[in-house]
Amino acid sequence: MSIYLLSFISYLLSVISPFAAENDVPQADYRVIPLPQQIAPAKGEPFMLRATTPIAVPAGDEVMLRHAEFLRDAVEQSTGLRLNISTDRRARLAIRLQLNNKIQGSEAYKILVNAKGITVEAATAAGIFYAIQTLRKAMPQGCFTAVTMPAATIADAPRFSYRGMHLDCARHFFSIDFVKRYIDLLALHNMNTFHWHISDDQGWRIEIKRYPRLTEVGSIRSHTVVGRNAHIFDQTPYGGFYTQEQARDIVSYAAERHITVIPEIDMPGHMLALLTAYPELGCTGGPYAVEPTWGVFDDILCAGNDRVFTVINDILDELINIFPSKYIHIGGDEAPKKRWEQCPRCQQRIRDEGITAKDGLSAEMKLQGYFTNRVEKHLLSRGRSIIGWDEILEGDINQSATIMSWRGTEGGLRAAHAGHDVIMAPTSHCYFDYSQEPEDYWERAFTIGGFVPLDKIYSLEPAPATLPEATRRHIIGAQANLWSEYITCEQMAEYQVLPRMAALAEVQWTTLERKQFDDFLQRLQPLMLRYQALGYHPCSSPWVLGKNEH
């Protein structure tokens, strides 16, 4: 008998008989990233996942149906097995998705695997979604006729409620398609917040109907500095913005993946794009130019001009209509006070409001507190809350403001003591525009400088056990930021965030006792394959993926 005939017969057997040729069936591994809180192996036979396995969902439940479709597509992408979705309550040997309000925790889930099937339960659709992420990551990557799912009970819930990832679309513009692919990455890592940085000195990136010049003028810079602010320019106009319709599309794409989009309009600094469009809103009246270089610039919004607050409120009102997020990020970082010191209107405001220097902070620094509180008041009146970078602590701001701590964690800890909610995003651990490789790689790695390798991120402890419980409670999560001064294309963005998002995911999700860096590196290997299979461009240098001493 020819070898071809033999292999054809064995192929036929494998298709016809569920028990044939199952020795080489690959096995799922539930020890994914982020590591679930509990994986209890169970006695008994495993479940055999095959193309004939139905995904069973309750009839008439649109959301669950969407989740089943997501699982179906992810399983197919991983294994080549195309499952069917069924609403038949008696479906056997199925993966069953069902809501169960006895499961505690708004993002928690349970997965039960035995020979009869896989039951996925959660009190919320979000919990079901995270269970699906775990299942998809547990699958081997390749093309198979079946997958062995070992019998087990998995019970999981996130450690932190805020699990964020940021993308700067102002310094460089990223397409809607890429923003979606980036959101897909957040979903893969069980993150639930996308912080979208859409305004800065170098470009205004969101359509505001009431102020069309923001995009007509503010979204385009006439040229861009080449390299590291080397005084060489490319002489090429650079621009781009998102229409409100596109932004809404992003919001709903993210929402389907249980991700909230928080827009950031950075103020009163980082505002040259707006000032170029509306120069009357600056202290000097301009003229200004959408900034072609990177850095921190003296021209900021005038805090003495009431018109500034009217315009900002109008802009925020349009944003609120697009973004249903509880939070709106109002920036607040890197606002030099030079113009305010010289501006008669800002000085008048200081006098009118009785603002004085205090605790080593100048009256102008306190004026930023006035600015922040006034903007916050408007947002609160619209039912929204603010997040600001830790500089906003320098004014006397309300306790209701949430602080994003980027200049280390100390500011965040102080804020948490003072009763603010806090998100940790320190440059030391969470700046993904910094290099993930040692110094000699920097030039190759398109980074701004700095060094944030994988184990450094992994070591971040956002809410140390030594803090009093009342303080710890205010630390709601962690986030990493991808600033894009030097990230000029999509592949670079992927290279910078992968695999670092994996380390961040365990900081955000996994409890301290379960975290172990060597073990994480082992579990990273299949995830690297998955990134590649999904078409991403992770940094895969052996230095990054190895265990390094530095």
- Which residues on adjacent β-strands are paired with residue 539? none
Question: Binding to ligand TNX by residue 173, rule CB under 6 A?
Answer: no
Closest CA to 156 of 121, 192, 117, 113: 121
Respond yes or no on whether the N-terminal peptide bond of residue 426 is cis (omega within 30° of 0). no
Q: Are 447 and 435 in contact (CB under 8 A)?
A: yes
Q: Which is nearer to ligand TNX, 487 or 527 (CB)?
A: 487
Which of residues 303 and 480 has its CB atom nearest to ligand TNX in the complex?
A: 480
Minimum distance between the CB of residue 258 and ligand TNX, rounded to whole angstroms? 26
Query: Which residues does residue 56 pair with via DSSP β-bridges, in sequence order?
Result: 86, 96
Question: Closest separation between CB of residue 327 and ligand TNX, Å?
Answer: 16
Binder to ligand TNX among 204, 483, 486, 536 (CB under 6 A)?
Answer: 483
Pairing of strands 162-168, 422-424: unpaired
* Helix (H/G/I), strand (E/B), else coil: 337: coil
In the region spanning residues 111 to 130, those forming contacts with ligand TNX, defined by CB under 6 A, are: none
Q: Which residues, 6+ apart, have CB-to-CB distance to 378 below 8 Å?
A: 309, 312, 313, 316
Q: Compute the distance between CA of residue 503 and CA of residue 189 in angstroms, rounded to an integer.
A: 10
What is the smallest separation between the CB atom of 442 and ligand TNX, expressed in angstroms? 14
Chain-centroid distance of CA 321 in Å reads 21
Q: How far is CA 321 from CA 26, 51, 216, in A?
A: 48, 43, 21
Q: Indicate which single residue of 433, 490, 494, 506 sits in contact with ligand TNX (rule: CB under 6 A).
A: 433
Closer Cβ to ligand TNX, 76 or 334, answer by number: 334
Whose Cβ is closer to ligand TNX: residue 109's or residue 434's?
A: 434
Total residues interacting with ligand TNX, rule: CB under 6 A? 9
Q: Which of residues 348-367 bind ligand TNX (CB under 6 A)?
A: none
Which parts of 381-400 interact with ligand TNX (CB under 6 A)?
A: 389
- Taking alpha carbons only, the member of 26, 192, 25, 53 closest to residue 120 is 53
The rounded distance, in Å, linking the Cα atoms of 357 and 235 is 44
Smaller CB separation from ligand TNX, 172 or 189: 172
Give 527's Cβ-side CA count (13 Å radius): 27
Q: In the complex, what is the shortest distance from the CB of residue 404 to ligand TNX, in angstroms, rounded to a whole number?
A: 8
The CB-of-170 to ligand TNX minimum distance in angstroms stands at 9
Which amino acid belongs to residue 400? S
Binding residues for ligand TNX restricted to 484-503, rule: CB under 6 A:
485
What is the closest distance, in whole angstroms, from the C-beta atom of residue 539 to ligand TNX in the complex?
Answer: 18
Task: Pick from 196, 327, 406, 486 the residue near ligand TNX by CB under 6 A.
Answer: 406
Choose between 140 and 269: whose C-beta lies nearer to ligand TNX: 269
- Per-residue DSSP letter, 45: P
Closest CA to 30 of 168, 188, 136: 136
Query: Strand, helix or coil at 328?
Result: strand
Q: How far apart are CA 348 and CA 48, in angstroms?
A: 75
Phi, psi for residue 423 in degrees, rounded to 5? -120, 125
Structure tokens given for 539: 């940094």
Q: Render 115-131 in DSSP notation, one character per residue.
A: TTEEEEEESSHHHHHHH
Asked about 378 being catalytic, the answer comes back as: no
431 binds ligand TNX (CB under 6 A): yes
Nearest 10 degrees: CA dihedral of 478, 532, 488, 169?
Answer: -40
The mark string for 446-475 relative to ligand TNX (x by CB under 6 A, - otherwise) is: --x---------------------------
DSSP 272-304: HHHHHH-GGGBSS--------S-S--S--B-TT
Q: Which of 172, 270, 329, 420 is catalytic?
A: 270
Q: Which is nearer to ligand TNX, 268 or 526 (CB)?
A: 268
Binding marks (x or -) toward ligand TNX, 183..202, rule CB under 6 A? --------------------
Residues 311-350, mask of contacts with ligand TNX (x by CB under 6 A): ----------------------xx----------------
d(CA 98, CA 118): 11
Q: Which of 107, 121, 156, 200 is catalytic?
A: 200
Residue among 334 and 461 whose Cβ is closer to ligand TNX:
334
CB of 334 to ligand TNX, least distance (A): 5
Place of tokens 């809607």: 176
- Shortest reach from residue 168's CB to ligand TNX, in Å: 6
Provide the minimum distance between the beta carbon of 425 and ligand TNX in the complex, in angstroms, as a whole number: 8
The residue from 184, 298, 334, 341 that is catalytic is 334
266 annotated active-site: no
CA 15 – CA 27 distance, rounded (Å) = 19
Q: Which is nearer to ligand TNX, 334 or 455 (CB)?
A: 334
Closest CB to ligand TNX among residues 25, 448: 448
What would the two tokens of residue 538 be?
A: 């992770």
Helix (H, G, I), strand (E, B) or coil at 11: helix
CB of 366 to ligand TNX, least distance (A): 20
Active site residue 200: yes
Contact residues: ligand TNX, CB under 6 A: 333-334, 389, 406, 431, 433, 448, 483, 485
Catalytic amino acids? 200, 270, 334
